[in-house]
């Protein structure tokens, strides 16, 4: 895994751990349909980002952008606790798991096929 992908994975894992911790704190149930919706949404966002890959990459490489994304992810988790824990935390976990799976898939593809 490249340094960038490792960093991106670490940021996503931090937010995922936050979401899982929030699940435990509020004792919310996991909604499978909401988690699937989050996963599909993450894939859709990544596919849309490929249309403007250089612009997205340039913006994402800024440390401030990464910090804002991390804070927003944690803020969304907190909002989920307040507004609709089961639905919103499940969407977030589904999105983060799908993103991490895509990251592993792309890294594996690159390692195997160069």
pLDDT digits (tens, 9 = 90+) for 3-55: 889 999 999 999 999 999 999 999 999 999 999 999 999 999 999 999 999 99
User: Is the CB of residue 19 less than 8 Å from the CB of residue 31?
Assistant: no
Query: What does the pLDDT read at residue 1?
Result: 60
How many angstroms separate the Cα of 35 from the Cα of each of 4, 62, 71, 85?
26, 29, 21, 12
CA-based torsion, 111, 50, 67, 35: positive or negative:
negative
The larger pLDDT score, comparing residue 1 to residue 107, is at: 107
Query: What does the pLDDT read at residue 3?
Result: 87
Query: What does the pLDDT read at residue 111?
Result: 85
The pair of structure tokens assigned to 65 is 């952008």
Query: What does the pLDDT read at residue 2?
Result: 74
User: Is the CB of residue 34 less than 8 Å from the CB of residue 91?
Assistant: yes
Q: Mean pLDDT across the chain, nearest whole number? A: 95
pLDDT, mean of residues 58-75: 96
The pTM (predicted TM-score) of the whole model is: 0.92
User: Is the CB of residue 98 less than 8 Å from the CB of residue 12?
Assistant: no
How many angstroms separate the Cα of 34 from the Cα of each of 72, 86, 90?
19, 8, 6
Q: What angle in degrees, to the nearest 10, is found between the helix axes of 63-83 and 53-60?
A: 90
In this predicted structure, the answer to whether residue 114 has a pLDDT above a threshold of 80 is no
* Percentage of residues of the chain with pLDDT beyond 70: 99
Spans of all domains in the chain: 3-109
Q: What are phi and psi of 99, to 5 degrees?
A: -60, -45
pLDDT, mean of residues 68-89: 96
């Amino acid at each position: 895994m490249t340094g960038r992908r490792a960093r991106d994975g670490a940021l996503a894992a931090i937010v995922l751990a936050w979401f899982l911790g929030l699940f435990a704190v509020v004792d919310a149930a996991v909604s499978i349909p909401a988690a699937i919706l989050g996963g599909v949404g993450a894939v859709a966002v990544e596919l849309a980002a490929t249309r403007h890959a250089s612009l997205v990459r340039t913006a994402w490489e800024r440390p401030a952008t990464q910090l804002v994304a991390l804070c927003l992810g944690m803020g969304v988790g907190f909002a989920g606790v307040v507004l609709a824990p089961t639905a919103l935390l499940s969407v977030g976990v589904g999105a983060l798991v799908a993103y991490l799976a895509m990251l592993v898939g792309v890294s594996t593809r690159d390692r195997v096929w160069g």
